[in-house]
A and B are shown apart, each in its own frame.
Chain A
Amino acid sequence: MSDFPFLLAMIAVPAVGAAVLAALPPSRQALARQLAMAVSLLVLLLAVLATVAFNTGGDRFQLTTSVTWIADFGVSFALGVDGIALVMLLLIGVLVPVVIGASWDERAAGNRSMRTYWAWLLLLESMMVGVFAATDVFLFYVFFEAMLIPMYFLIGSFGGPNRQYAAVKFFLYSLLGGLVMLASVIGLYVVSNSQLGEGTFAFDALRQLDIDPGVQKLLFLGFFVAFAIKAPLVPFHTWLPDAGAEAPVGSAVLLVGVLDKVGTFGFLRYCLPLFPDASRDLAPWVLVLAVVGILYAALVAMGQSDMKRLVSYTSIAHFGFIALGIFAFSTEAATGAVLYMVNHGIATGLLFLVVGMVITRSGSRQIRDHGGLAAKAPLLAGVFLLAGLASLALPGTNSFVSEFLVLIGSFPREPVFTVLATAGIVLAALYVLLMYQRVFHGPPRGVLVDAEPRPEATGGGSTAVLTAPAPARTSRVLDLSRRELAVVAPLVALVIGLGVYPQPLIDLIDPAVQATMSDVGVDPGGSAPEAPGGTD
């Protein structure tokens, strides 16, 4: 069973699915979405089976496949996962069907077709699996860059009114980061060539290199810039609010839920093990960026009037927490950071989805166009509130466990930064609850509850390419439909489930984190951290 090439299948299945969807005639929308859903569920099944086949006490990388790809460059098509990559694959497996379900009834404007939208989504899924499963740095780079193309078309073809600008900005930022990383990738190859006598990109071989500290710093910076743009750390973050706001909701979920995690994943997988000295030397600077990001993004989020931009800024603050957990160099904090990556994908994904549902109903992304919705749509309000609370890491929700682990893990090593970061939690409560309060409570306001829609209230989503059939303005239809309930239900279950019982995930993550920490020279010590507070 464990010989089955799960990872290869998880890359190939959605890619083939995308090709089939693209070849379908445009009129077969219903078939296309069923097919897309079936493919994405199959990938989820594969991810679950891969997790079952994964032995937490076994080798660092499991389920490996390796085929020589370009012999001249020493490149192999090498796949394999550690616990960190595996939980990201599970997250991908869960989010993609949810996202496809969320766009089930949407219509594309003009002569664009939803079939294309789903085909790009599946291709994106294939690339995302590849980026987490690659154990060859060259292969990782190829997926890292190739992943941009589906997302570029998703934003540019199906996004909001300002989609062209957002798509190009997203692409150029990521490409620039990627190219800087490419210089470092080639640099690593050259170092391996001189030390091993033969150039290689295999992660395990590169980890053994003994790189001169000065060179290490330069190579580290190449990788770091790429990942800091991806994960966005302040000041490399300005593309995310645009991309997050203009992307169609489903793509935005994948963008902040998974795509951006490649950045923090890259810190853990590549920056720390390959350049341990440079990581230790430069960590204070990274921590400054992380903490500045936490506070700055939280403050900016409070000032946003556009709900999708607001959620994007909250993500930037959360990425600050993840970076803090990684560069504090303690096993607990790093485990918390990995857990945070998963939980943030679930919580923020849910928040984006419900924000999207509000926008579908009103046609506006502006907070001021809404008010008093809770009376008309109690279920929607409830899910929104839960997503918001998960986002601000209320105990009992999944994010609490990870945020707590990050903070208690970082405090002994970096007390000042940790204390400053804690202020971010208070700000998070402010921006989430303010948005919730303005949209769902207070006097009824805005297009949904006015007798006549205000003409000026349409700024934002009205010229979006993707539209769902507008529900009639009665309270029954305003609330979540059954389909929407089915879409949010898995995420709601995960928010609560992982909040109460995160231990299985921690067990998966912990060995990989310990291996990473010993690479960077931190004594892993102790056993797996116990989940705080949750299990009692």
Chain B
Amino acid sequence: MGPITAPSLSYTALAPLLFVFGAAAVGVLVEAFAPRAVRHPVQVVLALVGTVGAFVATLLLAGTEEVTAGGALAVDGAALFLQGTIAVLGALSVLLFSERAVDPARSAFVAVAAVPAGSVRDRELATSTRVQTEVYPLASFAIGGMMLFTASNDLLIMFVALEVLSLPLYLLSGLARRRRLLSQEAAVKYFLLGAFASAFFLYGLALVYGATGSVRLSAIRDAAVTEGGDTLMVLGLALLVVGLMFKASVAPFHTWTPDVYQGAPTAVTAFMAAATKVAAFGAVLRLLYVAFGTADWTWRPLVYGLAIVSMLVGAVLGLTQTDLKRMLAYSSIAHAGFLLTGVIGLGPGDSGYGLAATMFYLLTYGLTTLGAFGLLTLVRDGDGEATHLSQWAGLAQRSPIVAALMAFFLLALAGIPLTSGFTGKFAVFRAAIEDGAWPLAVVALVASAIAAFFYLRVVVLMYFSPAAPDGPTVGVPGLPTTIVLAITAAATLVLGILPGAVLDLAESAAVLVG
């Protein structure tokens, strides 16, 4: 047995990942050695340097197409576009995490997560102004894992990335300062179901390896072409898809989504809803297009069915929700279905518009959702955030700007023209119809109409209902949240009115190397 040779690494191509993982690793050291007084600003700056640096690196790398790290990582247009998107969403989420002006206790995160909920110590902690900072390295690791996920050219790396992004998220979900029990329940639920999903993914990986003798996506594709789809491979693909769809919160693998979105601290929910979705779809696109994107046998019926189920489940169950965070969770499930509509549009010989459309949609959806959740952190009552629908009645009279922004984000999620949501929907529906999947597009349009009803209901409440006398107060956001809201609102508007440049970018980035 010869010596193990280290694979050659192209450090330039990996620069985005190095930035984020570097920031995460240094963040752990800062947590251990920096004095408490300076820890918060240092951690925030560090996390921002990591994410913004990664974003700049993806811009500089634009046009790169190479396979590195012994063939385990593919740095191509799609990977860089999605990494850039995740980096931007990550940076905005870090800003949301660092908001200290809204909560009277100066942070949305609990100081000591392990204290039993409801105990005396827990009640002390709820009002203490001690701020813990481990959220920043955790978030950086999650962001790094997500970026790795979209670039993995190898099922094993994909699995590793899945775990790297998931484990910090499980922890982050349990860190809410208020409503501790809900938050802990969310963390446990997410962890247990997530572990199941990982196991599915791993099992699928093993079966595909058994069928094709390789975990490399390009090798799987070659095997699929030469041997056709045998039972083992079909089963393996199905199990891999289950694992990925769980992360992307596609129905029927969505059951964790409403509970976790509701229980997690809202800033974390924003992060999960926006960035995790991008990462999961990045992996879905890579797996389906690179490894199984052959004309000989196809994953299309599977994705077709999942898209319909997800759109209808998200839209219909969203109608019955009375909590805004849960409502946005079902909205996220419906949007996962719309995204799958774009995934269908692969086209013969990879000529379709699906990849570019799906990537563009991910960007627009991520920014709009982040903005909507960011607004939720501002509307509060004595017990933390006021997320029950009835508490938002008449908000337009008390706080016209917050109401107008929320209405704008909701109309964007509903896909009304002149918002980014419409451009994105148009792009994915076009991809699907070009590929001949017009029945799917029609279902998607019907689901959009159903979903519009629950978005509108919030607008109706805010604008047309009388305000409750003991309604919530609207906090004045500090600088970080203001920046997030300004950027997300501006992006939602600009991508709706003048999307040309970004659409071009998505189209030129729609390259997958195998």
Contacts and interface: CB of A to CB of B under 8 A. Distances in A.
A156 interface: yes
B397 interface: yes
Contacts of A187: 433, 438
Interface in B11-33: none
B503 A72 contact: yes
B456 A171 contact: yes
Nearest to B398: A111
Interface string A151-180: 001001100000110011001100110011
B418 A183 contact: no
A148 B504 CA distance: 30
Contact of B460 (A70, A143, A167, A190): A167
Q: How large is the interface on A (under 10, 10 to 19, 20 to 34, 35 or more residues)?
A: 20 to 34
Contacts of B500: 69-72
Contact of B449 (A167, A175, A189): A175
A164 B456 CA distance: 11
Interface stretch (B282-290, B381-389, B439-447): B439-447
Interface in A474-533: none
B433 A190 contact: yes
A18 B354 CA distance: 39
A145 interface: yes
B456 A186 contact: no
A141 B416 CA distance: 10
B465 interface: yes
B417 interface: yes
B429 A142 contact: no
A145 B397 contact: no
A296 B442 CA distance: 31
Given A156-B460, A157-B464, A190 B430 contact: yes
Interface in A444-484: none
Contacts of A149: 411, 416
A58 interface: no
B452 interface: yes
Contacts of B416: 145-146, 148-149, 175
Nearest to A141: B417
B274 to A, nearest CB: 24
A193 interface: yes
B426 interface: yes
B65 interface: no
A164 B426 contact: no
B453 A186 contact: no
B504 A182 contact: no
A225 to B, nearest CB: 11
A303 interface: no
A149 B445 CA distance: 19
Contacts of A175: 414, 416, 449, 452
B486 to A, nearest CB: 18
Contacts of A153: 463
B418 A146 contact: yes
Given A142-B418, A149-B411, A175-B452, A190 B464 contact: no
Nearest to B445: A179
B434 A193 contact: yes
A156 B445 contact: no
A247 B195 CA distance: 54
Nearest to A194: B434
Interface residues of B, number: 36
Contacts of A183: 429, 433, 438, 441-442, 445
Interface string B439-477: 001100110110011001100100111100000000000
Contacts of A193: 434
B499 interface: yes
Interface string A327-363: 0000000000000000000000000000000000000
Contacts of A179: 445-446, 448-449
B259 interface: no
Interface in B411-428: 411, 414, 416-418, 422-423, 426-427
B323 interface: no
Contacts of A186: 426, 429-430, 433, 441
A156 B464 CA distance: 6
Nearest to B418: A146
A172 B449 contact: yes
Contacts of B185: none
A4 interface: no
Nearest to B465: A164
A476 B257 CA distance: 67
A172 B453 contact: yes
A389 B4 CA distance: 96
B507 interface: yes
A57 interface: no
A237 B223 CA distance: 57
Nearest to A159: B464
A110 interface: yes
Contacts of B433: 183, 186-187, 190
Contacts of A189: 430
A444 to B, nearest CB: 37
Contacts of B441: 183, 186
A432 B397 CA distance: 41
Contacts of B466: 110
A73 B449 contact: no
Interface in A259-307: none
B445 A167 contact: no
Interface string B471-488: 000000000000000000
Contacts of A72: 499-500, 503-504, 507
Contacts of B438: 183, 187
B463 A156 contact: yes
Contacts of B504: 71-72
B507 A180 contact: no
A136 to B, nearest CB: 13
Highest count of chain B CB atoms <10 Å: which of A73, A167, A172, A186: A186
A146 B452 CA distance: 14
A172 B460 contact: no
A479 B187 CA distance: 70
A146 B445 CA distance: 17
B503 A70 contact: yes
Contacts of A182: 426, 429, 445
A515 B417 CA distance: 31
A156 B446 CA distance: 24
Contact of A190 (B426, B434, B446): B434
Contacts of A190: 430, 433-434
B450 to A, nearest CB: 9
Contacts of B427: 73
A175 B430 CA distance: 19
Contact of A142 (B417, B448, B465, B507): B417
A210 B507 CA distance: 29
A193 B422 CA distance: 21
Contacts of B446: 176, 179
29 contacts: A69-B500, A70-B498, A71-B500, A72-B500, A72-B503, A73-B427, A110-B397, A145-B416, A145-B417, A145-B422, A156-B464, A157-B464, A164-B465, A167-B464, A168-B460, A171-B452, A171-B456, A175-B414, A179-B449, A180-B442, A183-B429, A183-B438, A183-B442, A183-B445, A186-B429, A186-B441, A187-B438, A190-B430, A190-B434
Given A142-B422, A183-B441, A190-B433, 4 more contacts: A71-B504, A110-B397, A110-B466, A163-B464
Interface of B: 397, 411, 414, 416-418, 422-423, 426-427, 429-430, 433-434, 438, 441-442, 445-446, 448-449, 452-453, 456-457, 460, 463-466, 498-500, 503-504, 507
> 6 nearest interchain CB pairs?
A179-B445, A142-B417, A72-B503, A176-B449, A156-B464, A145-B417
